[in-house]
């Protein structure tokens, strides 16, 4: 579900989302798709939020879509949702390919055994290729910062991973 808000102070259009905070696939899809649109995407709630928030934000959402449609876009809400859904599917596919690769499975197992947490940066190279940068960190010793672990690309067309480092 996407919702929107117009930020009055700066005349910046913002699309508000409710279900993407903490969701690797959705938050990355939103970040990537946002680059193609004249607005920022802002997560405003996590797993729980007051029900009346939906109605209030949907009202703003409709204003933003109407504004975009009146200023050069056609069916902006429908096109945005299609863009977002396509990006979500591509990223999900890339994550599934990653999670089935033996080196990545071993790395996650190593982190689990050593009680390290992981952090992943995702870069879209094209509609067929994504770059993953994997880092780990010790939650009991955050002063040490994160450790770079692995860089690889996923080729969706070939269903393959190319490990860089």
For 25, 59, 62, 75, 110, the CA distances from 118, given in Å and listed in that order, are 15, 38, 38, 39, 11
Pick from 39, 102, 48: nearest CA to 71: 39
Burial of 144 (0-12, 13-18, 19+ CB in 10 A): exposed
What does the pLDDT read at residue 20?
62
| CA separation for the pair 149, 137 (Å, rounded) | 10
Q: How many residues comprise the chain?
A: 165
| Residue 42 exposed, middle or buried by CB count within 10 Å (0-12, 13-18, 19+) | middle
Which of 13, 134, 24 is CA-nearest to residue 77? 13
Q: Is 6 helix (H, G, I), strand (E, B) or coil?
A: strand
Tell me, what's the pLDDT at 145?
A: 85
Token look-up 């396509």 returns 86
pLDDT along the chain (165 residues), means of 10: 45 76 86 93 71 78 91 94 96 96 94 90 97 91 87 97 89
SS3 label, residue 110: helix
CA distances (Å), origin 38, targets 41, 81, 114, 141 = 10, 14, 44, 40
Contact present, 30 and 81 (Cβ < 8 Å): no
The Cα 34–Cα 15 span in angstroms is 9
Report the pLDDT value the prediction gives residue 15, as an integer from 0 to 100.
Answer: 83
């Amino acid at each position: 579900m996407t919702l929107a808000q117009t930020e009055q102070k700066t005349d910046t259009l913002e699309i508000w989302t409710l279900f993407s905070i903490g969701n690797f696939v959705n938050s990355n899809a939103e970040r990537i798709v946002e680059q193609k649109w004249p607005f920022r995407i802002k997560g405003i709630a996590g797993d729980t939020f007051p029900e009346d928030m939906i109605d209030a934000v949907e009202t703003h959402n409709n204003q933003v879509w109407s504004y975009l449609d009146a200023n050069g876009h056609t069916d902006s809400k429908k096109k945005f949702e299609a863009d977002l859904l396509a990006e979500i599917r591509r990223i999900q596919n890339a994550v599934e390919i990653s999670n089935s690769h033996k080196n990545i499975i071993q790395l996650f197992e190593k982190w689990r055994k050593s009680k390290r947490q992981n952090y992943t940066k995702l870069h879209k190279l094209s509609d067929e290729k994504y770059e993953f940068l994997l880092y780990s960190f010790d939650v009991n010793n955050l002063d040490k910062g994160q450790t770079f672990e692995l860089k690889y690309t996923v080729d969706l067309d070939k269903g393959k991973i190319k490990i860089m480092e």
